[in-house]
Chains A and B, each alone.
Chain A
Amino acid sequence: MHERGHIRRALIIWAVGSVIAVLLIIFALGPHMPPGSATEEAKSQRFTNVLLAAVMAPLALAMIVAFLYAIITFRNRDGSLGDGPADFGDSRLQLGWLILTSSVVLLLAGLGTYALYEEPANAAGVGAGGGQGPAPIQRTSLNRLVVQVIGQQWQFTYRFPQYGGVETFRLELPVNRPVEFHVTSLDVVHAFWAYQLGVKADAVPGADNIAFATPRHLGSFDIRCAELCGVWHGEMSDKGLIVAPSAFTSWITSQRRANAPATGNLPPYARSYFPDPPGRAG
């Protein structure tokens, strides 16, 4: 077949495959893409995941179709020892490819940056749920719930400075109220990963790593440590709950009552803790 004929056929296969793949990704896979829609942040991540999949699928298919087409079409059928055409390259095609890939990359980087800095009406979604360090991009909202996540070997505990500095074993969050996580550690590096919330932030000793999430649906969420932190790293998991605001109020009240003796022993709330001298005391 003629050279142009090959290219046209491969293009048709690619176009059909790409349309099918993109439709499948957006409509079949999209609603199930992680990490779900429990929070604004999770929604924004899911949107990015779907978008990236939909953009990358045609590119990947282009390569796969072209390679497979070449492998099938241009195999040496007759076993002859002859050589193929001496084609050393086509600079227009190369330039075109360079421009195409560069623009896709710049587009994706631009979209990713926009997702980090966008300021939607509900003031949620900025920073996409990741740990942003002590000086976050996102401005804090007035009605936010501050939760300090304290990593220690090997359990996360949670401290609520707005509720008398009470510390709890479990985490419950009210729906529709922005949550400001302050993640820190008492010993080694952990990572607080609340999967359905779309939150992941390293817990670093001596550091205050701030992440945001605005829960939108009631339900439970998985908490796992995502940075190797020692022998029980694999067991450092827990379940949290998103509850109605009234249920949260009664939960935090009961926690304050039940944990009052321990709260009395706690140091004052701080952005990070140095509970030990730097030495190697027991």
Chain B
Amino acid sequence: MQNATGSASRRGPVLAVAAAVTFTVAMIAWYLISYVFGLPPTVDAHANGRGTAITLQTVAATGHAPHPDWVSYYAMNPSGKWVHGTILKVPAHSTVTVTVINFDGMSGLRNPFLSQPRGTIGSVSVNGKPLRVMNPDEASHTFTIPRLGVSVPILGVGDNAPNQCDVPAPCPMSTAHTTTTFTIKTGKPGWYRWQCFVPCGAGWIFGNGGPMQTVGYMDGYLQVA
């Protein structure tokens, strides 16, 4: 509309500007649309001896673009490959065995209430031993699905443990880690968010920025289908 007052004899530059404006707006529109669509990849649960299982690992830093310094979960797909995705697809009304292999250090819970595992079927096993309650300062992350009432603290790797993982994710099993295993029951079909409640986004105020607020890092969905 800027061009409308131009006299009829000067249509050339007017049309060029109109084309430029249209092009810019179209590019912005395209950019916005491609920005909003696009969830991280969905990872199917895999079968183990007795049923469905999810295997996750947490790393202190992905080591990859676009966020090499961000703490993140990884999930194992049915062919045994680690995928950088946190949308986990599991069957409805079934029991799922969850294994979390943690390579990250101890960050500490903000709300010590979450130091106790709850909502699981049977007990939670940490490095083979049953977990009653964890020292809140030793927690590295939690695996929490609020709508299912499930919350399990994940033990951190001690600072003095030998052979810390310092390669780009996923971390090899030969590096220092803790293993947490538990069983949950899924409910009706739907999308259930899960997240970590340990403020582990280092550098952000309250530790709750960046990876803590990005699906694909410390947040995800349990896609119950």
A contacting B, Cβ–Cβ less than 8 Å: yes
Contact present for A152 and B197 (CB under 8 Å): yes
Interface string of A175-211 (1 = CB under 8 A from B): 0000000000011100000000000000000000000
Is there contact, CB below 8 Å, between A275 and B116? no
Question: Which among A157, A167, A231 is the interface contact of B215 at CB below 8 angstroms?
Answer: A231
Q: Is B133 an interface residue (CB 8 A)?
A: yes
A-B Cβ contacts below 8 A, count: 85
Say yes or no: A262-B112 contact (C-beta < 8 A), given A169-B149, A188-B206, A280-B203: yes
Contact of B114 among A153, A231, A262, A280 (CB under 8 A): A262
Question: Chain A residues with Cβ under 8 A from B107's Cβ?
Answer: 282
Using CB atoms, name the residue of chain B closest to A150: B111
The chain B residue sitting closest to A168, CB to CB, is B113
Instruction: Give min CB distance, A270 to chain B, whole Å.
Output: 13
A265 engages B115 (CB within 8 Å):
yes
* Separation of A169 and B111 alpha carbons in the complex (Å): 12
**Is the beta-carbon distance between A282 and B199 smaller than 8 angstroms?**
yes
Q: Does A110 contact B (CB under 8 A)?
A: no
The answer to whether B202 and A230 have CB atoms under 8 Å apart is no
Contact mask B104-133 → A, CB, 8 Å, 1/0? Answer: 000100111111101000000000000011
Q: Is A276 an interface residue (CB 8 A)?
A: yes
B213 x A155 contact (CB < 8 A): no
Of the candidates A186, A230, A231, the one having the most CB atoms from chain B within 10 angstroms of its own CB is: A231
Question: In the complex, what residues of A have CB within 8 A of residue B112's CB?
Answer: 262, 265-267
Interface string of A258-274 (1 = CB under 8 A from B): 11011011110000000
Assembled-state Cα–Cα distance A223/B38 (Å): 30
Q: Which B171-225 residues have a C-beta within 8 angstroms of A?
A: 193, 195, 197, 199-208, 212-215, 219
Could you tell me if A155 and B146 are in contact, using CB atoms closer than 8 angstroms? Answer: yes
B208 contacts across to A, CB distance below 8 A:
153, 187-188, 230
Chain A residue at smallest Cβ distance from B60: A282
**Is B85 part of the contact surface with A, judged by Cβ < 8 Å?**
no
Q: How far is the CB of B132 from chain A (nearest CB, A)?
A: 6
Total chain A interface residues with beta-carbon distance under 8 A:
30
Chief secondary structure at chain A's binding surface: loop
Query: Are B132 and A261 within 8 A (Cβ)?
Result: yes
Residues of B within 8 A of A155 (CB): 144, 146, 197
Question: Using a CB-CB cutoff of 8 Å, which residues 74-120 of chain B contact chain A?
Answer: 107, 110-116, 118
- Are A167 and B193 in contact (CB-based, < 8 A)? no
Q: Mark A145-158, 1 if CB is under 8 A from B, else 0.
A: 00000101111010
Contact of B193 among A153, A187, A235, A267 (CB under 8 A): A235
B136 at the interface (CB under 8 A from A): yes
A residues 106-151 touching B (CB-CB < 8 Å): 150
The interface residues of chain A lying within 8 Å CB-to-CB of B214 are: 231
**A273 to B135 CA separation, bound complex (whole angstroms):** 19
Partner of A262 from B116, B202, B212 at Cβ < 8 Å: B116
**In angstroms, how far is the closest chain B Cβ from the Cβ of A97?**
40
Q: In the docked arrangement, what's the CA distance between A188 and B206, Å?
A: 9
B111 adjacent to A280 (CB under 8 Å)? no
Q: Which residue of B lies closest to A169 (CB)?
A: B149
A231 near B213: Cβ-Cβ < 8 Å: yes
Q: How far is the CB of A36 from chain B (nearest CB, A)?
A: 24
Asked if A282 meets B219 with Cβ closer than 8 Å, knowing A155-B146, A230-B213, A231-B214, the reply is no
Look across to chain B and name the residue whose beta carbon is closest to the beta carbon of A158.
B113
Assess whether B207 is in contact with A281, with CB atoms less than 8 Å apart: yes
Q: Are A259 and B197 in contact (CB under 8 A)?
A: no
User: Whose C-beta in chain B lies nearest to the C-beta of A275?
Assistant: B110
Binding site for A on B (CB under 8 A): 107, 110-116, 118, 132-133, 135-136, 144, 146-147, 149, 151, 193, 195, 197, 199-208, 212-215, 219
Closest 3 CB pairs of A and B: A282-B202, A261-B133, A262-B116
A and B contact pairs by CB, cutoff 8 A, 15 listed: A169-B118, A187-B110, A230-B208, A232-B193, A235-B146, A235-B193, A238-B146, A262-B115, A262-B133, A265-B133, A267-B112, A276-B206, A276-B207, A280-B202, A282-B200
